[in-house]
Amino acid sequence: MPLELRIEALSKTYPNGVKALQDVTLAIPTGMFGLLGPNGAGKSTLMRTIATLQEADSGSVTLDGIDVLRQKDDVRRILGYLPQEFGVYPRMTAETMLDHFAVLKGITSARDRREVVGALLRRTNLYESRKQNLGTYSGGMRQRFGIAQALLGNPKLIIVDEPTAGLDPGERVRFHNLLAEIGENVIVILSTHIVDDVSDLCSRMAIISNGRLLMEGEPMQSVREIDSRIWRRTITKQELPEYEKHFAVISTRLIAGRTVIHVFSDSRPDASFEAVSGSLEDVYFSTLRRATHEEKAA
């Protein structure tokens, strides 16, 4: 039976008054799920709460009959977590460090640990470099090691927070392939501000900003819904404020020294604009823009 993580009316306000989560309700099915949002949106707060590292003020989270907020030990037995920043001992080999993590996960038999550690290092393509100190690993290798430790104990829920930030294109592709393989039979939540990661990997997604859930759905369906409503024009940098005043400019990009703008509109803004196919990036920016305007109007 497929797993589902259910989040109901989850809220969290920090002592300084920041509303990190505001009544978030979300259903996350088996497979790769993308959680998109700008820095400071509340993504990490949500991930840490699900990972039992932080308390919520109100609401509930359930997974496979487990009350995530109250049955923390039960959750940790089936959880794999790769935080945005995770520390390693730079002078310890990958093999030794993973063996240590396996002990912490409750794998007491040395023979079982050898088999599990070897299998995970092969799966993450680190077996040939298992005797290297972790301090010598590249960014991509460290992230793959992070996934190897997250996979210990055959978790049902895996959370990865900003996993491809700082990776070069080749490492990013290898990491994507690994995540896609993992996400076939378990819930994998990919928390990121990189739209392409979600577009490439996830069958479902949500956008969060200022602690509020703005939208959820299937990435490709979301793109189809904005098709024929995205318009492009090349302008000078000096013209940008005037265009922002009169049109719903959702994104700007500098190409060959010229500023290219995307505008969200049901019809052609004026004859100087050309229609372009919508993308998940357009969905993301138009959703954030609409939310900003609604907050200002409230």
Domain locations in the chain as residue ranges: 4-218, 224-297
* Token pair in block for residue 185: 């039979």
Within 10 Å of residue 124's Cβ, how many Cβ atoms? Answer: 24
Percent of the chain residues topping a pLDDT of 70: 98
Q: Write the pLDDT tens digit of every residue in 43-86.
A: 989 999 999 999 999 999 999 889 999 999 999 989 999 887 77
Strands 230-235 and 204-209: unpaired
More confident residue, 145 or 164: 145
| Rounded Cα–Cα distance for residues 226 and 217 (Å) | 13
| Rounded Cα–Cα distance for residues 26 and 4 (Å) | 10
| Rounded Cα–Cα distance for residues 40 and 211 (Å) | 8
Q: Which fold has domain 4-218?
A: Rossmann fold (3.40.50)
| Rounded Cα–Cα distance for residues 134 and 97 (Å) | 9
Report yes or no: 263 and 293 within 8 Å, Cβ to Cβ: no
Residue range 255-276: mean pLDDT, rounded? 93
Global pTM value: 0.88
